[in-house]
């Protein structure tokens, strides 16, 4: 998949849009009942990225058994949606509060500076670089 081809699946899409995006994944013309090769399937690769080893094994067998593309897409949607739902809810809540985003970023920057400043001073001293100001 490629963003330049407008065929990506953004992770935080609302559930209905996520389902539509997964259903639009291009597959070959093999009919239900015909064995399919998971190694040649973008749909399987996406499924495998979210699946446990046992789920991957089961889907590989389903492909060899000739699962219908619509069923494979539905199972892929259900797996991904189940995995992403908690994160999507947090993302939506966070995006509703831009001031909170800024607060979290500023807090993180302050904590990083507290750690990085003395560390960089030790590095500069170790390699003989004098203070810049």
Kindly report, residue by residue over 75-116, the tens digit of the pLDDT: 999 999 999 999 999 888 888 999 988 999 999 999 999 999
Single pTM value for the model: 0.70
More confident residue, 1 or 49: 49
Four-residue CA torsion sign, 39, 50, 104, 97: positive
Cβ proximity of 22 and 50 under 8 Å? no
pLDDT at 113: 96
What angle do the packed helices 69-95 and 15-23 form, to 10 degrees?
150
Count other Cβ atoms within 10 Å, centred on residue 128. Answer: 6
pLDDT band at 133 (very low <50, low <70, confident <90, very high): low
């Amino acid at each position: 998949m490629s963003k330049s081809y407008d065929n990506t699946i953004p992770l935080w899409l609302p559930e209905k849009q996520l389902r539509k995006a997964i259903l639009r994944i291009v597959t070959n013309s093999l009919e239900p009942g015909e064995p399919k090769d998971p190694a040649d399937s973008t749909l399987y690769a996406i499924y495998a990225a979210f699946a446990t080893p046992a789920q991957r094994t089961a889907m590989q067998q389903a492909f060899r058994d000739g699962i219908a593309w619509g069923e494979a897409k539905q199972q892929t949607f259900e797996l991904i949606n189940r995995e992403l739902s908690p994160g999507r809810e947090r993302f939506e809540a966070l995006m509703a509060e831009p001031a909170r985003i800024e607060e979290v970023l500023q807090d993180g920057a302050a904590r990083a500076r507290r750690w990085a400043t003395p560390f960089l001073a030790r590095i500069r001293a170790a390699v003989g670089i004098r203070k810049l100001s």
